[in-house]
Structure 1
Amino acid sequence: MSQVAIKERSPHSPSYQRHRPERTLLYQIIERHYPEFRDVMATQGKPLPLHVQQEFADYLKCGRLEHGFLRVQCSECHHEHLVAFSCKRRGFCPSCGARRMAESAALLVDEVIPEQPIRQWVLSFPFQLRFLFASRPQLMGRVLGIVYRAISSHLIQKAGFTRKTAQTGAVTLIQRFGSALNLNVHFHMLFLDGVYTETKHGRTRFQRTNGPEQQELIELVHTISYRVAGFLEREGILERDVENSYLNLEDQDEDPMQQVLGCSVSYRIAVGPQQGRKVFTLQTIPSWEDDDRFAQVAKVSGFSLHAGVAAQAWERQKLERLCRYISRPAVSEKRLSLTPSGNIRYELKTPYSDGTTHVIFEPLDFIAKLAALVPKPRVNLTRFHGVFAPNSKYRVDVTPAKRGKGNPTQSRDDKTPEQRRQAMTWAQRLKRVFNIDVSICPQCGGEAKVIACIEEQAVIDTILAHLMKKGALPPPPELLPATRASPDTGWFT
């Protein structure tokens, strides 16, 4: 279902209010400028791939009652409200992204990650590899295996064991975007801060390791960069000569998204008369204060490895916040606004080291940036490794859900109250994360249930026309004006 917002009736009883995407600036920008962008690409002989076109088409239907809805009725006062269908896409839809964020975080904390210390390892890549992984996700998966083996071997050796006598585990969430809506494929890996060993009685025992020191990070990022370069060279992707090395991407010339992806990776304008130039930015005086976020980071040849964020075994709420952060949507509507000239201004989550606080996009280039964020079909952006992998014999022992080899699926009657609590519906998870309960009547607070699923267009039109005649539905809004002023001090670059 579509994203919802809180409409407070009392401090203890949040009720449901329908999300209206057509009122948001992001929706209005896409509705107005996407058709032109699509036509421009087709005119250049580079028609958008079907999965990109479908992403935009479904987003424009997401949360709109005109394309179908559920009828939800209170069992006590019989008040009805409508819940529109969602697009369930993975690219840039903030509503579906927020729902997926809540579901992913609840799943990881409740069913996958045990009550052991967890550390986040973040690996970023050079620009050329970001483009390569976006265009060839199968290579990205194999590189992820190289990265996992390097870090897990380091942890096992640090604990004093070998790969035959100890195992660790990780969950990787592959993020495709940067703070400036640029295409930035990088790995967020939630690693156990230790290893599991097997006792003489066949039970698993956890042994913690200390966090990495700076020299260890430097050695690790050297190892990772060396192994990744060797793999790409063996695959014929990386070519080396005496002075330089470069990627061999000759077969990518037929990809209509190549220019869009490349410009998004390199912070350049993809379409229009300014094509190829750097994206416009707003800057202020850079801060000279030390940033603790980069206290544990190592950089080598464009690779960057950061391991400064950790959650202790008892910090489950902190872990869930971390899971929500790394699975968050690509676009934040709160940071989006219009300039007086009609361009799109997007505020960075955190200013860059050079003082950059905002990026400025022309409308068509903004649509191009969104198109670059759409993943290819059937690319899994969440991966499980080691003891968390589906085929691991340790999974049934170490994960809270106790699912894995040697443990057949339990019936509901056999489940404990704790296991039944974990089997939450989407509505329950939404309530857990956002304190919103769509199953509560907004009028009397009674229990609300779905009574019909309306998908036939004739029936949809009849119901909406009746509601609009009664004044229960507002008319379509006009394009939102610029609602956020530019900084008092700043300049374009």
Structure 2
Amino acid sequence: MAAVQRTDSALRLNVHFHSLVLDGVYVHENDDPRSPLEFRELDTPTRTDIAEVAARTAARVEKLLRAHGKSLDPELVEDTPPELALDEPGLAACYAAAAQGLSVSGDRAGQPPLRLIASPDPPARPRAVDATDQPIAEVRGINIHAVQVVDGRDRRRVERLCKYITRPRRAGPPRAPRGRQARADVQEGVARRHASARVRAS
């Protein structure tokens, strides 16, 4: 299951994907198609595994960009400033800082604002002591974070992940009952199909 998020938590433009995938495979016991399917967990992906996925994704994104005359390489991007930067340089600077998540004044001018982040739940799995062991990688601006793992029988955490990736594009609770029902349907579908599986979020 995947969902496209077009903004970050501060409603800045930041197109990214949230995916819930099975962290394993279903197999028939002894390759007998008459036997029931059993879920077999896969090993946790390594940083190298995730870096390979990020590299393939970056290559595909670059191919699409080139087809439209764009590039991820700063030296290949047109250096003509946008019209707003010429007409309203102060406003353009504020827009640029907001898009990058930087403060424009005060003690932290040019730096990201301080944020306090706390999770009400303990980690689903003990974190690796060495950060290099975690399934996190970035290649040419494409970053993948695949640390979160939840046992499929832990309904509360699966529900929390489903709610997180299907949250609305604005802050606050959803207003429309239809939106709540859509998320409930998604959660129920995941619960029915993979009740005993392990789910990895990225």
Q: 1:25-424 to 2 correspondence within 5 Å?
A: 171-197=1-27, 199-202=31-34, 203-233=36-66, 236-238=67-69, 244-246=75-77, 274-277=90-93, 278-279=97-98, 281=103, 283=108, 295-332=134-171, 400=192
Unaligned 5+ runs, structure 1 = 1-170, 248-258, 335-381, 383-395, 403-493
Q: Distance in 1 between matches of 2:191 and 2:159?
A: 15
Q: Distance in 1 between matches of 2:172 and 2:64?
A: 39
Aligned residue type for 1:217 = I
State the partner residue of 1:45.
none
Q: 1:193 to 1:401 in 2, by over 3 A?
A: closer
1:327 offset after TM fit, Å?
Answer: 2.0
Aligned residue type for 1:317 = R
Q: 1:310 to 1:286 in 2, by over 3 A?
A: closer
What percent identity do the matched residue pairs reach?
A: 27
The alignment yields a C-alpha RMSD, in angstroms, of 4.4
1:311 offset after TM fit, Å?
Answer: 0.3
Aligned residue type for 1:219 = E
Q: Distance in 2 between matches of 1:246 and 1:191?
A: 35
Summarize deviations over 1:161-214 as a string: whole Å, max 9, x none: xxxxxxxxxx00111111221011100010100123454335533221022111
Summarize deviations over 1:203-236 as a string: whole Å, max 9, x none: 5332210221112212221122123323444xx2
Contact 2:152 2:158 in 1 (8 A): no
TM-score under structure 1 normalisation? Answer: 0.25
1:244 offset after TM fit, Å?
Answer: 4.5
TM-score under structure 2 normalisation? Answer: 0.55
Secondary structure at 1:317's aligned position in 2? helix
Q: 1:179 to 1:239 in 2, by over 3 A?
A: closer
Unaligned 5+ runs, structure 2 = 117-126, 174-182, 184-188, 195-202
Secondary structure at 1:311's aligned position in 2? strand
Summarize deviations over 1:269-311 as a string: whole Å, max 9, x none: xx98843113373746799xxxx79743211111111001110
Q: 1:215 to 1:321 in 2, by over 3 A?
A: same
Q: Distance in 2 between matches of 1:208 and 1:237?
A: 41
Aligned residue type for 1:213 = T
Secondary structure at 1:275's aligned position in 2? helix
Aligned residue type for 1:195 = V
Moved over 6 A (4+): 284-287
Secondary structure at 2:148's aligned position in 1? strand
Q: Distance in 2 between matches of 1:227 and 1:319?
A: 31
Q: Distance in 1 between matches of 2:13 and 2:26?
A: 36
Aligned residue type for 1:175 = Q
Q: Distance in 2 between matches of 1:319 and 1:399?
A: 8
Aligned residue type for 2:25 = V
Aligned residue type for 1:210 = D
Q: Distance in 1 between matches of 2:159 and 2:151?
A: 12
1:332 offset after TM fit, Å?
Answer: 2.7
Summarize deviations over 1:15-65 as a string: whole Å, max 9, x none: xxxxxxxxxxxxxxxxxxxxxxxxxxxxxxxxxxxxxxxxxxxxxxxxxxx
1:319 offset after TM fit, Å?
Answer: 1.0
Q: 1:196 to 1:230 in 2, by over 3 A?
A: farther
Secondary structure at 2:33's aligned position in 1? coil
Q: Distance in 2 between matches of 1:224 and 1:230?
A: 10
Q: 1:180 to 1:399 in 2, by over 3 A?
A: closer
Q: 1:401 to 1:300 in 2, by over 3 A?
A: closer
